[in-house]
Amino acid sequence: MIASLKFKDYQKNPIILPKKDSEAKGAYNPAVIIEDEIFYLFYRSVGLNGLTGRIYLAKSSNGVNFTKSLKPVIYPYYNYEKYGCEDPRIVKINDTFYLTYVGNSGKYCVGNICLATSRDLLHWEKRGTILKPREKWDKGQVKAGVIVPEKINGKYVMYFSGEEKPWKPSIGIAFSVDLINWEEEKKPVLLPREGYFDSKAIEPGTNPVVIEKGIFMIYNGWAEDNIYKPTGVLFSKDNPSKVIERGDKPILKPLRNWGNVFNCKNHIVAEGLVKYNNYWWLYYGAADKVVCLARCKVTK
What pLDDT sits at residue 164? 85
The dotted CATH code for 2-297 is: 2.115.10.20
Task: Give residue 63's region: left, alpha or beta (phi > 0; psi -120 to 50).
Answer: left
What pLDDT sits at residue 110? 62
List C-alpha distances in Å: 189 to 162, 192, 234, 244: 11, 11, 12, 12
Report the SS3 class of residue 150.
coil
Helix (H) / strand (E) element for 270: namely strand 268-276
Per-residue pLDDT of the chain (300 residues; tens, 9 = 90+): 887 898 999 999 999 999 888 899 999 999 999 999 999 999 999 999 889 999 999 999 999 999 999 999 999 999 999 999 999 999 999 999 999 999 998 865 567 999 999 999 999 999 999 998 888 899 888 999 999 999 999 999 999 999 988 889 999 999 999 999 999 999 999 999 999 999 999 999 999 999 999 999 999 999 999 999 999 999 999 999 999 999 999 999 999 999 999 999 999 999 999 999 999 999 999 999 999 999 999 976
Residue pair 58/16 in contact (Cβ under 8 Å)? The answer is yes
For 233, residues 6+ apart whose C-beta sits below 8 A from its C-beta are 2, 190, 216, 217, 218, 219, 243, 245, 246, 247
Give the helix ranges, DSSP H, for the chain.
Answer: 258-262
Short-list 263, 251, 254, CA closest to 286: 254
Q: Can you give the length of the chain in residues? A: 300
Report the SS3 class of residue 261.
helix
For 146, residues 6+ apart whose C-beta sits below 8 A from its C-beta are 89, 91, 100, 158, 159, 160, 204, 205, 206, 207, 208, 217
Report the SS3 class of residue 165.
coil
What pLDDT sits at residue 165? 84
Distance CA 96, CA 119 (A): 5
Give the helix ranges, DSSP H, for 197-298.
Answer: 258-262
What pLDDT sits at residue 111? 74
Distance CA 266, CA 66 (A): 23
Distance CA 267, CA 183 (A): 31
Report the SS3 class of residue 83.
coil
Residue pair 233/205 in contact (Cβ under 8 Å)? The answer is no
Instruction: Give pTM, 2 decimals.
Output: 0.96
For 148, residues 6+ apart whose C-beta sits below 8 A from its C-beta are 91, 156, 157, 158, 159, 207, 208, 210, 215, 240
Peptide bond between residue 192 and the one before it cis (omega within 30 degrees of 0): no
